[in-house]
């Protein structure tokens, strides 16, 4: 394996990225939306406008669209565009908005980074948007950081380097910390440090009756259990999160690409990852390239150790075929922690996409690797490509028992998913065939996966979603839901129900 030092040009580029300001507004689609459900009449919101002057966006205001559209482009026509948006500046605004919506029978939904795959931070009624609440305060004595409910990965990337600390964050800059932590939070640090939700020490939230309550190991313990894995949009609106932080060590960031001998390389890679040390955090993907359908395997991630030690870990794969270190963005870069994160970061721009996930408990076997490649070789070609992915979990994620928090997927070693992307210009028959292929591949994965899915890769095509997301924790979550939100104020198509579903 060749070790490339980060180029001077790339360094300059990364330095220039500095605080990485996030996109202020998502681009509007040129064509008018054909919405599945019409928004409520905005005249109903006059009382709210009076209660929260300057905070309410109505459809005639240009900024409104940015907070009612889904990140996932293919759902922009399918999800409603709220009649009104409250841009909450503090917890009191959230309380006022919740109380007003409940008193007036208006459906409401919380929105932070707006990156729900299935577009669930949308409603016909009122979006309570907390994305302005971006305060971040680090306490050097406790080594904890307190984040407002609207903090995104980009804000963590800008602030944590100044105090030399880190936690388990994502790599897509515009994703909200709220959605991330409330559904678990997977990232390259999770095998060393645990999930983002494992690092939460306290949170504050506004309940359906408008009360602002502290939630921690000693305050509201049922909610404390529930919100660490099943919090997004289910019980209330979180206005702050406090996290423990960790040293940010030097590491080796890398992207490795294999485009030959995949039939031999993939099984070796899976065996290697299954045995990997906690210092390794990776996403493996086998990609079917846009338009050509050519397959390649990409290993992207970080290793807390030197390139030489990383090479030792990956030696069994290297022995079969070394990665192609050509003009494909490959690199192996020893660097300080935050330069590494800049190399791994992605903006996470809106896309046309479907992603379907399943966890893997069983050790890897040749049949599974062969089946993955067989499905990918039959993949229809789209303008934006398709891929099978494996996020290496295990390690510190397994140090917490499945029933200790609401996040149940603790015994698995790989979070697998099929991600299908396309372009607006792809013919609809091509898109339909890509979606059929996705569903057939997903069904075939049942032979080698656990039947559980990651709730943050929320998937409106999964019929058994409640059990898939929450496993054996579902019954307790339903009981807590009935206690905290008996009138189902916080609901969306895949929210925690008031009764346990039959299947």
Ligand X SMILES: Cc1cc2nc3c(=O)[nH]c(=O)nc-3n(C[C@H](O)[C@H](O)[C@H](O)COP(=O)(O)OP(=O)(O)OC[C@H]3O[C@@H](n4cnc5c(N)ncnc54)[C@H](O)[C@@H]3O)c2cc1C
Q: Is 59 exposed, middle or buried (0-12, 13-18, 19+ CB in 10 A)?
A: middle
x-marked contacts with ligand X along 5-44 as a string, rule CB under 6 A: ----------------------------------------
Stretch that binds ligand X, among 83-91, 165-173, 394-402, 418-426 (CB under 6 A): 165-173
CB atoms within 10 A of CB 268: 19
Q: Shortest gap between Cβ of 84 and ligand X (angstroms)?
A: 16
Place of tokens 């192996």: 332
Query: CB under 6 A: which stretch of 109-117, 312-320, 429-437, 477-485 binds ligand X?
Result: 109-117
Choose, by CB under 6 A, the member of 233, 281, 390, 402 that binds ligand X.
233
Least distance in angstroms from the C-beta of 186 to ligand X = 4
Binding-site size, ligand X (CB under 6 A) = 34
Tell me how far CA of residue 468 lies from CA of 112, 175, 260, 462, 494, in angstroms.
24, 23, 35, 8, 11
Query: Does the footprint of ligand X cover residue 390 (CB under 6 A)?
Result: no
Burial (Cβ within 10 Å: 0-12, 13-18, ≥19) of residue 30: exposed
Taking CB under 6 A as the binding criterion, the range among 138-146, 170-178, 252-260, 309-317 that sits at the site for ligand X is 170-178
Closer CB to ligand X, residue 366 or residue 399?
399
Distance CA 149, CA 169 (A): 15
Among 22, 67, 100, 117, binds ligand X (CB under 6 A): 117
Determine the Cα–Cα distance for residues 488 and 478; give it in Å rounded to an integer.
Answer: 11
For residues 117 and 465, which CB has a smaller minimum distance to ligand X in the complex?
A: 117
Q: What's the min distance (Å) between Cβ of 43 and ligand X?
A: 25
Looking at the Cβ atoms of 36 and 46, the one nearer to ligand X is: 36
Q: Verify binding: residue 281, ligand X, rule CB under 6 A.
A: no
96 SS3 class: helix
User: For ligand X, which is the closer residue by CB, 111 or 165?
Assistant: 111
Binding of residue 232 to ligand X (CB under 6 A): yes
Is 339 within 8 Å of 6 (Cβ atoms)?
Answer: yes
* Segment interacting with ligand X, rule: CB under 6 A, options 12-20, 108-116, 139-147, 434-442: 108-116
Place of tokens 């065939």: 433
Shortest Cβ contact with ligand X: which residue? 179
Q: How many residues does the chain have?
A: 503
Binding pattern to ligand X, positions 69-88, x when CB under 6 A? --x-----------------
Contact status: 113 vs ligand X (CB under 6 A)? yes
Q: Are strands 386-392 and 331-335 parallel, antiparallel or unpaired?
A: unpaired
CB of 147 or CB of 273, closer to ligand X: 147
CB 170 within 8 A of CB 157: no
Residues with Cβ within 8 Å of residue 424, at least 6 apart in sequence: 73, 352
**Residue 175 binds ligand X (CB under 6 A):** yes
CA distances from 273 to 136, 194, 200, 480 (A): 35, 17, 27, 37
Residues 8/334, Cβ–Cβ less than 8 Å: no
Among 66, 96, 121, 199, binds ligand X (CB under 6 A): 121
Q: Judged by CB, which is closer to ligand X: 172, or 498?
A: 172
Strands 84-87 and 126-129: parallel
- Rule CB under 6 A: say whether 230 interacts with ligand X: no
Q: Please tell me the distance from the alpha carbon of residue 391 to that of residue 374, in angstroms, as a whole number.
A: 20
Among the listed residues 391, 482, 454, the one whose alpha carbon sits nearest the alpha carbon of residue 179: 454
Residues contributing to the site for ligand X (CB under 6 A) = 71, 109-117, 120-121, 130, 149, 170-172, 175-176, 178-180, 182-183, 185-187, 232-233, 237-238, 348, 456, 492
């Amino acid at each position: 394996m060749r070790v490339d030092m980060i180029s001077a040009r790339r360094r300059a580029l990364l330095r220039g990225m500095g605080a990485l300001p996030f996109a202020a507004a998502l681009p509007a689609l040129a064509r008018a939306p054909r919405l599945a459900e019409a928004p409520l009449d905005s005249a109903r919101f006059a009382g709210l406008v009076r209660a929260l002057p300057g905070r309410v966006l109505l459809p005639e205001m240009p900024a409104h669209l940015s907070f009612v559209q889904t990140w996932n482009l293919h759902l922009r026509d399918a999800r409603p565009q709220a009649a009104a948006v409250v841009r909450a500046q503090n917890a009191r605004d959230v309380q006022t908005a919740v109380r007003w919506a409940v008193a007036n029978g208006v459906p409401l939904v919380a929105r932070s980074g707006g990156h729900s795959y299935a577009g669930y931070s949308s409603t016909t009624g009122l979006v309570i948007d907390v994305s302005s609440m971006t305060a971040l305060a680090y306490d050097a004595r406790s080594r904890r950081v307190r984040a407002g409910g609207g903090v995104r990965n980009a804000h963590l990337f800008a602030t944590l380097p100044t105090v030399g600390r880190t936690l388990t964050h994502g790599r897509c800059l515009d994703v909200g910390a709220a959605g991330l932590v409330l559904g678990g939070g997977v990232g390259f640090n999770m095998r060393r440090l645990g999930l983002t939700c494992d690092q939460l020490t306290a949170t504050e939230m506004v309940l359906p009756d408008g009360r602002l309550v502290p939630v921690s190991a000693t305050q509201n313990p049922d909610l404390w259990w529930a919100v660490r894995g099943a919090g997004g949009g289910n019980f209330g609106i979180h206005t702050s999160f406090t996290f423990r932080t960790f040293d940010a060590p030097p590491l080796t960031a890398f992207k490795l690409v294999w485009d030959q001998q995949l039939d031999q390389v993939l099984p070796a890679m899976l065996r290697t990852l299954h045995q990997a040390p906690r210092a390794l955090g990776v996403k493996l993907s086998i990609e079917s390239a846009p338009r050509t359908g050519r397959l390649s395997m990409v290993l992207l991630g970080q290793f807390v150790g030197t390139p030489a030690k990383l090479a030792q870990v990956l030696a069994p794969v290297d022995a079969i075929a070394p990665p192609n270190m050509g003009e494909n963005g490959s690199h192996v870069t020893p660097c300080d922690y935050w330069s590494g994160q800049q190399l791994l970061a992605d903006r996470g721009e809106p896309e046309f996409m479907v992603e379907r996930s399943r966890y893997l408990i069983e050790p890897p076997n040749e049949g599974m690797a062969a089946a993955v490649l067989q499905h990918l070789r039959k993949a229809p070609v789209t303008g934006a490509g398709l891929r099978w992915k494996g996020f290496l979990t295990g390690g510190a994620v397994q140090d917490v028992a499945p029933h200790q928090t609401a996040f149940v997927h603790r015994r698995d070693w790989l979070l697998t998913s099929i991600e299908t992307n396309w372009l607006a210009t792809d013919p609809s028959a091509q898109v339909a065939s890509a979606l059929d292929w996705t569903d057939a591949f997903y069904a075939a994965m049942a032979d080698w996966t656990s039947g559980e899915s990651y709730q943050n890769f929320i998937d409106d095509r999964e019929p058994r979603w409640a059990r898939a997301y929450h496993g054996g924790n579902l019954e307790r979550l339903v009981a807590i839901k009935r206690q905290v939100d008996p009138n189902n104020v916080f609901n969306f198509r895949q929210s925690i129900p008031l009764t346990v579903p039959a299947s």
